[in-house]
Amino acid sequence: MSTNRLEAFSDGVIAVAITLLVLNIELPTLKAGESLAGGLLAQWPVYAAYAVSFLTIGIIWINHHVMIGRLREADRTILFLNLLLLMSIAVLPFATRLAAAYLKKSHGQHLATGVYSGAFLLMAVFFSALNQHILLTKAHLLHTEIPLEQRRQILYRSITGVAPYAIATALAVVSSYLTLAICGALAIFYALPIGSGGVEPAG
């Protein structure tokens, strides 16, 4: 199967997910005598969760473009794994809103941030599984041949995100803010050239 429809469908799902993020940001409800600046500052968990999710989805979109760009065609397993990846991305607007709503509350904040980082963990797992299938199992479907050692290095970079997200999810029972900070740090790390590995798409 050609990768054109795969990319088009994936881009559509990612675009909708990233749009839904901003739609979750509501105008602050001001109390009597409260300034707009104070109302906006009170919503900082919403902005923090939004920024982390937006940056992470953007990075996934870039890496997905690179990954699919290496392919000349896709098999059924690639389509299925890609669908699982898109499912985890589509969950992020809900997980982001949940974390933002409960981060400053005395109850439910640990579960909410656990769900939030858990969504990132699922995304990292499915992305790595898709990358592994393409680079190791279906290397003959690549546009150009990539040496095995280079393919392993590319795969290693994608797998390294799984463990930190798992740690962040586990730490949600200890500190919701620490979990959010780890997710934010991972987003910044993978946005930098050192995190992306400087890998360019084929062609």
Instruction: Identify the weakest region by mean pLDDT among 12-21, 139-148, 171-180.
Output: 139-148
Buried residues in 70-105 as b, exposed as e (16+ CB within 10 A): bbeebeeebeebbebbbebbebbbebbbbbbbbbee
The 10s digit of each residue's pLDDT in 121-142 is 999 999 999 998 988 888 888 8
Give dist(CA 203, CA 194) in Å, integer: 22
Backbone φ and ψ for 41, nearest 5 degrees, come out as -65, -30
The 10s digit of each residue's pLDDT in 42-84 is 788 888 889 999 999 999 999 899 888 888 888 899 999 999 9
The distance from CA 55 to its chain's CA centroid, rounded to whole angstroms, is 8
Q: Is residue 151 part of a domain?
A: yes
Q: How many independent structural domains does the chain possess?
A: 1
Q: Is residue 52 part of a domain?
A: yes
Q: Is residue 11 part of a domain?
A: yes
Residues 6+ apart with CB under 8 A from 58: 18, 191
Q: Is residue 126 part of a domain?
A: yes
Q: pLDDT over 90 for what percent of the chain? A: 49
pLDDT bracket for residue 179 (50, 70, 90): very high
The residue range of the domain holding 184 is 3-196
pLDDT at position 198 is 40
Strand partners, 71: 142
Residue pair 187/59 in contact by the 8 Å Cβ criterion: yes
Q: Is residue 84 part of a domain?
A: yes
Q: Is residue 203 part of a domain?
A: no
Q: Is residue 158 part of a domain?
A: yes
Cβ atoms within 10 Å of 151's Cβ, excluding its own: 19
Residue pair 184/48 in contact by the 8 Å Cβ criterion: yes
